[in-house]
Amino acid sequence: MDNRDHTGSEKRHTAMGLFLTLLAIVFLTDILTNIITAIFHIPIILESVLGGFLVISIAYPALYLLIFKPLSVEIARRKRVEKMKDEFIGTVSHELRTPLSITKEGLSLVLDKIPGPLNEQQARILTVSKNNINRLSRIINDLLDISKIDAGKKVVRHEAFDIIPVIWQTMALFQARIRDKGLAFRSVLPKGAIVVRGDVDAIIQVLTNLIGNALKFTERGSIDISLKDTPEEIELSVHDTGVGISKEDMPKLFEKFQQFGRVNGPGEKGTGLGLAIAKGIITAHNGRIWAESEFGKGTKITFVLPKNKE
Amino acid sequence: MAKHKLLIVDDEIDFLEMLKLRLEANNYSVVTAMDGNEALEKFKTEKPAAVLLDILMPGMDGIDVLKKIRKENSKVPVFIITAFSNEERFKMANKLNASGFIVKTNDLQKEIQNITSAIAISEGFKGR
Ligand SMILES: Nc1ncnc2c1ncn2[C@@H]1O[C@H](COP(=O)(O)OP(=O)(O)OP(=O)(O)O)[C@@H](O)[C@H]1O
Ligand SMILES: [Mg+2]
């Protein structure tokens, strides 16, 4: 969104207005001081006192009318818009999730044979339906995350946490699926705790998206996680030996809804939001994320996260 | 073992029906209410072993209902039904001593296992 640019040009306008107002005030009080000193023969020593008095009595109302009042009106308006945006996101997510959860539970009840027996074909059809309901709820969650990122509301916590167990836990969630595909899954992590400050759920989401991609786009070989620790930041990479990304596609990689060479087979097709979300989250932590890839050989995605020590 | 009676409160009739079926399949008997007033009335007359309470309802919302239930009975397990996480509400519910949450989009069978153990714990308290 171009919100930030607006703020930038408005700030410049405000600064210019302030400068001109101050110039006018100095000019005006100087003239007034001279006139009053001339008319009433005020001694030189008192001239600066008079000047000061005039500056205050002119400057305050002028500044109030020209700057503070419009500024506070503008701030109030922005706050209202922000609040409406938040409420919109909240309402949409509630309104969409309720019918989804009802449908999902309906399918689960039948699949769990609670109303009665089920033949194999019925079970298969309902399983496919349920998988796609789950897919729909993931897409809704991703879309909501993207709009939260745009509104600057995705990364909300800034708490200290040890990143090492977070990596282990996320890896554990993928272990079985990666093994089933016959891929090696390794990690090189420093010994001991590494404390960073940030939103732990959001960081887990980044890791999940990166490892999920590596799994999705790798048919043979390995997936390696490595972590470099420096006093100020950590550098984490997910390196796979999969299909890779061509040079032409590289610049669009972290953009929304960009997908190249969709994978066939039973896996999920995805939406092309995973890397855009990852980038949004890392950027909100004042970090960086980038990709290196050789087409047909593999991909390495790396992010740097400042430790943000207090 | 006698069936435990649960009171479930939600303004979405379809969700109530699904949840009721799921709970009955888990050997609970179920009483339903569709708004805050009906919930309080049934809480008094039916004396449920636990309450499952939607947090967002028109009129009296779940938080108010929970406050009133706590005035009647400070021990009964109350679970908050929610469609999504909202930090403020979570904090609020924790302050009012809710026993846990049921996230609508999660697997309800798994969510119900938490309820079963919470009821077991509160039974233990009663025994003493
Ligand atoms: N490790 C990887 N190896 C090869 N290609 C990749 C890799 N990671 C991402 N890509 C390419 O970049 C595209 C965008 O990735 P992204 O994670 O944003 O979306 P997705 O995985 O297709 O869908 P979603 O993440 O929303 O489920 C992918 O569709 C794929 O073409
Ligand atoms: Mg992805």
Least reliable range by pLDDT among A115-129, A160-174, B96-110: B96-110
Query: A67 and A15 in one domain?
Result: yes
CA–CA separation, A246 vs A295, rounded Å?
5
CA–CA separation, A267 vs A195, rounded Å?
35
Nearest to B25 among A93, A114, A156 (CB): A114
DSSP single-letter state for residue A219:
S
Task: Please judge whether A108 and B108 are an interchain contact, meaning their C-beta atoms are less than 8 angstroms apart.
Answer: yes
Taking all residues of chain B, what is their mean pLDDT, rounded to a whole number? 85
Q: A148: helix, coil or strand?
A: helix
Query: A120 and A268 in one domain?
Result: no
CA–CA separation, A50 vs A36, rounded Å?
9
Query: A72 and A124 in one domain?
Result: yes
Q: Is residue A122 within 8 angstroms of chain B, CB to CB?
A: no
- Give ligand 1 pocket residues (Cβ under 6 A): A 142, 209, 213-214, 217, 240, 242-245, 253, 258-261, 270-276, 299
Task: Considering every ligand atom shown, identify the ligand nearest to the alpha carbon of residue A275 and give its number.
Answer: 1
Residue A2's pLDDT band (cuts 50, 70, 90): very low
Task: Please judge whether B15 and A97 are an interchain contact, meaning their C-beta atoms are less than 8 angstroms apart.
Answer: no
- ipTM score above 0.85: no
CA–CA separation, B21 vs A110, rounded Å?
10
CA–CA separation, B120 vs B113, rounded Å?
11
Q: What is the mean pLDDT of residues A214-226?
A: 96
Distances (CA, A) of B87 to A145, A209, B52, B57: 16, 24, 19, 18
Residue that finishes a domain, picked among A137, A153, A169: A153
- Residue A239 pLDDT greater than 80, yes or no: yes
A194 CA to middle of ligand 1, Å? 28
Q: What is the mean pLDDT of residues A167-191?
A: 95
pLDDT tens-digit profile of A252-271? 999 999 998 765 555 667 88
CA–CA separation, A297 vs A240, rounded Å?
9
Give the residue extent of every domain in chain B. 22-28+48-121
Query: A172 and A204 in one domain?
Result: yes
The CATH fold assigned to B22-28+48-121 is: Rossmann fold (3.40.50)
Taking all residues of chain A, what is their mean pLDDT, rounded to a whole number? 87
Tokens 């596609």 identify what position?
A249
The two beta strands, A233-240 and A298-306, are antiparallel
The two beta strands, B78-82 and B100-103, are parallel
The CB-based long-range contact list for A274-278 (8 Å cut-off, 24+ gap) reads A274/A142, A274/A209, A274/A212, A274/A213, A275/A209, A275/A213, A275/A301, A276/A146, A277/A142, A277/A145, A277/A146, A277/A149, A277/A205, A277/A206, A277/A209, A278/A205, A278/A206, A278/A209, A278/A210, A278/A254, A278/A303
Q: Please name every residue paired with A225 in a beta bridge, in sequence order, or none if there are none.
A: A187, A238
pLDDT of residue A82: 78
Q: Are A276 and A166 in contact (CB under 8 A)?
A: no
Task: Please judge whether B83 and A94 are an interchain contact, meaning their C-beta atoms are less than 8 angstroms apart.
Answer: yes
Distances (CA, A) of A198 to A93, A203, A206, A302: 24, 8, 12, 18
Q: Best mutation site among A135, A249, A275, A289 for ligand 1, i.e. most ligand atoms within 8 A of its Cβ?
A: A275
**Minimum Cα–Cα distance from A98: chain B residue:** B83
Residue that finishes a domain, picked among A153, A181, A205: A153
Query: A176 and A121 in one domain?
Result: no
Query: A141 and A79 in one domain?
Result: yes
Spatial strand order in the sheet of A288-294: A184-188, A222-229, A233-240, A298-306, A288-294
A85 CA to middle of ligand 2, Å? 26
Query: A141 and A19 in one domain?
Result: yes
Task: Considering every ligand atom shown, identify the ligand nearest to the alpha carbon of residue A296 and give its number.
Answer: 1
Query: A176 and A119 in one domain?
Result: no
Cα of first residue to Cα of last residue in chain A, in angstroms, is 31
Compute the nearest-CA separation of B70 from chain A (Å): 27
- Residue A8 pLDDT greater than 60, yes or no: no
Q: Which distant-in-sequence residues (6+ apart) come within 8 Å of B114 by Cβ?
A: B79, B100
Nearest to A98 among B15, B25, B107 (CB): B15
pLDDT tens-digit profile of B51-81? 999 887 677 778 889 989 999 888 899 998 8
Q: State if pTM tops 0.80.
A: no
Residue A272's pLDDT band (cuts 50, 70, 90): very high
CA–CA separation, B51 vs B83, rounded Å?
17
Residue A251: closest CA among A304, A305, A291, A303: A291
Residue B17: closest CA among A119, A140, A114: A114
pLDDT tens-digit profile of B26-50? 999 999 999 999 999 999 999 999 9
Q: Are B5 and B119 in contact (CB under 8 A)?
A: no
Q: Are B80 and B71 in contact (CB under 8 A)?
A: no
Query: Domain range holding A68?
Result: 1-153
How many distinct structural domains can be found in chain A? Answer: 2
Task: Please judge whether A101 and B107 are an interchain contact, meaning their C-beta atoms are less than 8 angstroms apart.
Answer: no
Residue A1's pLDDT band (cuts 50, 70, 90): very low
Nearest to A137 among B86, B105, B109 (CB): B105
B125 CA to middle of ligand 1, Å? 52
Least reliable range by pLDDT among A2-6, A27-31, A130-134, B21-25: A2-6
Query: A170 and A28 in one domain?
Result: no
CATH number assigned to the domain comprising residue A205? 3.30.565.10
Residue that finishes a domain, picked among A153, A179, A196: A153
CA–CA separation, A172 vs A167, rounded Å?
9
A281/A21: higher pLDDT: A281
